[in-house]
Amino acid sequence: MASIKQPQPPDSIFADAIKRLDNAAKHVDLDHEVVERLKHPKAVIQVSIPVRMDDGSLKVFSGYRVRHDNSRGPTKGGIRYHPDVSLDEVKALALWMTCKCAVVGVPFGGAKGGIVVNPKELSPMELERLSRGFIGLIADFIGPDKDIPAPDVYTNAMIMGWMMNEYSKIRREHCPAVITGKPLSLGGSLGREGATGRGAYYCIKELEKRRDWKPEQVRVAVQGFGNAGQSIAALLHRDGYRIVAISDSRGGVYRSDGFDVPSLIKIKNETRYLKAVYCECSVCEAVKAEIITNEQLLELDVDLLIPAALENQITAQNVSQIKARVIVEVANGPVTSEADAILSQQETLVVPDILANAGGVTVSYFEWVQNRQGYYWSVEKVHERLHKIMSREFNTIFKIMQQKQIDMRTAAYAHAMTRLGSAVAAHGTQSFFSNHNR
CA separation for the pair 221, 296 (Å, rounded): 11
Is 330 a residue that touches ligand NAD (CB under 6 A)?
Answer: yes
Query: Which residue, 153 or 350, is less far from ligand NAD as judged by CB?
Result: 153
Is 75 a residue that touches ligand NAD (CB under 6 A)?
Answer: no
Site string for ligand NAD, 335-364 (x = CB under 6 A): ----------------------x--x----
- Encode 164-184: b = buried (16+ Cβ within 10 Å), e = exposed: bbbbbeeeeeebbbbbbbbee
Site string for ligand NAD, 167-196 (x = CB under 6 A): -----------------------------x
Residue facing ligand NAD at closest CB distance: 226
Residue 220 CA to chain centroid, in angstroms?
20
Query: Which residue, 165 or 196, is less far from ligand NAD as judged by CB?
Result: 196
> Are residues 210 and 253 in contact, defined by beta-carbon separation less than 8 angstroms?
no
Q: Which of 24, 308, 328, 343 binds ligand NAD (CB under 6 A)?
A: 308
Is 229 a residue that touches ligand NAD (CB under 6 A)?
Answer: yes
Query: Which residue, 271 or 346, is less far from ligand NAD as judged by CB?
Result: 271
Is 122 a residue that touches ligand NAD (CB under 6 A)?
Answer: no
DSSP 8-state secondary structure symbol assigned to residue 431: G
Query: Which residue, 35 or 111, is less far from ligand NAD as judged by CB?
Result: 111
The catalytic position among 112, 182, 205, 268 is 112
CA separation for the pair 192, 383 (Å, rounded): 10
**Catalytic residue list contains 42:** no
DSSP 8-state secondary structure symbol assigned to residue 189: P
Q: Which of 23, 98, 332, 336 binds ligand NAD (CB under 6 A)?
A: 332
Cα torsion 255, 317, 251, 357 to 10°: value is -80
Cα torsion 342, 348, 354, 355 to 10°: value is 160
Beta strand pairing call for 75-82 and 242-248:
unpaired
Stretch that binds ligand NAD, among 116-124, 314-322, 326-334, 410-418 (CB under 6 A): 326-334
> Are residues 112 and 66 in contact, defined by beta-carbon separation less than 8 angstroms?
yes
Query: Which residue, 23 or 180, is less far from ligand NAD as judged by CB?
Result: 180
Q: Which of 10, 191, 226, 352 binds ligand NAD (CB under 6 A)?
A: 226
Specify which residues 69 forms β-bridges with. 110
Is 286 a residue that touches ligand NAD (CB under 6 A)?
Answer: no
DSSP 8-state secondary structure symbol assigned to residue 279: B
Is 117 a residue that touches ligand NAD (CB under 6 A)?
Answer: no
> Are residues 309 and 334 in contact, defined by beta-carbon separation less than 8 angstroms?
yes
Q: Which of 306, 344, 308, 330 is nearest to 390 (CA)?
A: 330
Catalytically annotated residues: 112
Q: Which residues bind ligand NAD (CB under 6 A)?
A: 151-154, 196, 223-229, 247-249, 294, 308-310, 330-332, 357, 360
